[in-house]
Amino acid sequence: GRALLVLLLSATVSLLGGLIFGYELGIISGALLQLQIDFHLSCFKQEVLVSSLLIGALLASLVGGILIDRHGRRRAILVSNLVLLVGSLILTLARSLIGLVIGRMTVGFAISVSSMACCIYVSEMVAAHQRGLLVSLYEAGITVGILLSYALNYIFADMDEGWRYMFGLAIAPTAMQFLSILFLPVNPVKLSSWDSDCQKGLIQLQDTEDRAAAKQEPYKEKHYSFLDLFRTRDNMRRRTLVGLGLVLFQQFTGQPNVLGYASKIFHSVGFQSNSSAILASVGLGAIKVVATLVAMVFADKAGRRVLLMAGCVVMAISVTTIGLTSRIAPLAMARDCKAAADPNASHSLTQHPLTPVSSQPAVSPIPPALGADKSQAGSGFAATRSLTKAFASTQRREGVPNSSFTQKRGLVGQAKGETVGSTGPPFGGAPWAKHMVLNWITLLSMMAFVSAFSIGFGPMTWLVLSEIYPAEIRGRAFAFCNSFNWAANLLISLSFLDLIDAIGFSWMFLLYGLMGVMAVIFIYLFVPETKGQSLEEIDQQFSRKR
């Protein structure tokens, strides 16, 4: 009975941790539409607000590991819940941009610590044959949280100061997670040590010599310093290579940016502007949830290596396909920041010409970002990217050079009525119609990419990271890799538009395809299979093998 209770509570903690993470990543896209009007935010201020979460998260990944190792996983989650409650209250009661930025940084700090502590705590808490399922549940929580945030964005869109409710509702799941973890033990319960797991036949014996050797070496507690991560002791350097490789390839296969084009691709197959935004975010969100559930089921059956390699192969093929089709049927590259200061810019480009300004649904102004946020959380993190980037830089480069252009565009729209409106002004009507088949291929490739990411890199990276390090340094090692995850994401976000200017959209995507192939080779050569093995066994195998 106790074992079952611990299992259910561990699952709840994992799911709620992911849910809060995804919710906080996704909610900003809807809140921003109201905030830019209520606080008269310029493009730069919107960019600052969106990146503040990322900065908080990066800070947490630098100090969070010490907190997790010194004070324990359970206490780290409890502290992160309290910090998150404070951040949510600051946001809900905010009266200025400074208040909002501080609130978002606090929230970013809390969800980053919580994400690391949850994965490690749950991986240590459950038996080897359930670890893949329960750690992947965190990733499933993220995808559900993002979908939930879009639903609430939509519900509160027309409400006065609806953003306060959006930010405030994060308090409910945070309080639930806080209560759930109070009933869990401080230290991992060895419900079934690996020895008894073997006797029960729960874990298939992988390599009998390794098993025999592992049984002869009793598990000794060791002490590690942070610098041991880069030394040959216990093969720590190779473990760090595996961790960093997975985290960096997760970002450099293009995952944060591919989804920035979701709305464009939905437009190109003929969806209207507003419905396109909803479809891009909700449709791809639903695909992610289903794919993550598939990963959960197969994590302990097929194994981590198989899912990672299969996911990478599909990602490489689909992103290369998008690159090739966009050479023949180029995608329009116009994502503009909508500054509340310039009403023409806010409405004339995205708005359906026949819709009056007041009744415009709040989904309209930032649809590409909605689609983009979706993918991010898949990475575990970084949903802020698309919004951040789609702001000031785009407007300077290709969006709205001056308001006279937008006024003309608006007038043309009114004059032509439905014709322009139906294709969505930034895209123009003619080019899309010619390449309808290619546009559908692009759309299907994007769906394949999202699914493959959610089966492979999305959940498996964090699962492998929570398994390959010795318990004594697991928190610091996880946090070290995590900081590279955030930093790489920030780098990709900031350089994306410049790279597109330099080498072009299709080459950019072909480059992502090449990175996908390199990721497959990396996983094949360096990432070990850890399914069905206890954490102690994984540690001992790593320590012995060169």
Which tens digits make up the pLDDT trace of 66-81? 999 999 999 999 999 9
Q: Which of 254, 249, 250, 248 is nearest to 499 (CA)?
A: 254
User: What pLDDT, on a 0 to 100 scale, did the predictor assign at position 44?
Assistant: 84
CB-based contact 112:56 (threshold 8 Å): yes
Report the predicted TM-score, pTM, of the whole model to 2 decimal places: 0.75
pLDDT, average across residues 275-294: 80
Q: How confident is the model at residue 384 (pLDDT cuts 50, 70, 90)?
A: very low
User: What pLDDT, on a 0 to 100 scale, did the predictor assign at position 91?
Assistant: 96
Which tens digits make up the pLDDT trace of 513-527? 999 999 999 999 999
pLDDT, average across residues 419-443: 59
pLDDT, average across residues 14-29: 93
Scanning the structure block, which residue is given the tokens 């080459």? 507
User: What pLDDT, on a 0 to 100 scale, did the predictor assign at position 186?
Assistant: 78
Asked if the domains 1-184 and 228-332+435-545 are classified in one and the same CATH topology, the answer is yes
State yes or no: pLDDT of 357 exceeds 70. no
pLDDT, average across residues 528-536: 89
Task: Classify the C-alpha dihedral 368-371-372-373 as positive or negative.
Answer: positive
Question: For the CA atoms of 146, 149, 151, 152, what is the dihedral angle to 10 degrees?
Answer: 170
- The domain 228-332+435-545 is classified under which CATH number: 3.40.50.970, 1.20.1250.20, 1.10.760.10, 3.50.50.60? 1.20.1250.20
State yes or no: pLDDT of 134 exceeds 80. yes
Q: Which of 193, 191, 197 is nearest to 3 (CA)?
A: 191
User: What pLDDT, on a 0 to 100 scale, did the predictor assign at position 452?
Assistant: 95
CB-based contact 376:383 (threshold 8 Å): yes
Q: What is the rounded distance in angstroms from the CA atom of residue 343 to the CA atom of residue 407?
A: 10
DSSP 33-74: HHHHHHTT--HHHHHHHHHHHHHHHHHHHHHHHHHHHHH-HH
Most confidently predicted of 5-9, 46-50, 142-146: 142-146
User: What pLDDT, on a 0 to 100 scale, did the predictor assign at position 514?
Assistant: 96
CB-based contact 20:146 (threshold 8 Å): no
User: What pLDDT, on a 0 to 100 scale, did the predictor assign at position 276?
Assistant: 62
User: What pLDDT, on a 0 to 100 scale, did the predictor assign at position 207?
Assistant: 47
Which tens digits make up the pLDDT trace of 159-194? 889 999 999 999 999 999 999 999 888 766 544 443
- The upper half-sphere exposure of residue 443, i.e. CA atoms within 13 Å in the direction of its Cβ, equals 20
Q: How confident is the model at residue 410 (pLDDT cuts 50, 70, 90)?
A: very low
Structure tokens at 5: 């209770």
CB-based contact 140:296 (threshold 8 Å): yes
Domain boundaries, the chain: 1-184, 228-332+435-545
In the chain, % of residues over pLDDT 70: 71
Amino acid at 541: Q
Which tens digits make up the pLDDT trace of 467-488? 999 988 999 999 999 999 988 8
User: What pLDDT, on a 0 to 100 scale, did the predictor assign at position 392?
Assistant: 33
Residues present in the chain in total:
546
DSSP 352-395: -TTS-GGG--TTSSSHHHHHHHHHHHHTTS-TTHHHHHHTHHHH
In the chain, % of residues over pLDDT 90: 40
Tell me the pLDDT of the chain averaged across its residues. Answer: 76
Q: Which of 390, 411, 539 is nearest to 471 (CA)?
A: 539
Q: What is the rounded distance in angstroms from the CA atom of residue 212 to the CA atom of residue 233?
A: 22
Identify the CATH number of the domain defined by range 1-184: 1.20.1250.20
* pLDDT greater at residue 503 or residue 407: 503
* pLDDT greater at residue 397 or residue 483: 483
Q: How confident is the model at residue 29 (pLDDT cuts 50, 70, 90)?
A: confident
Q: How confident is the model at residue 212 (pLDDT cuts 50, 70, 90)?
A: low
CB-based contact 484:74 (threshold 8 Å): no
Q: How confident is the model at residue 319 (pLDDT cuts 50, 70, 90)?
A: very high
Q: How many CB atoms lie within 10 A of CB 546?
A: 5
Q: How confident is the model at residue 377 (pLDDT cuts 50, 70, 90)?
A: very low
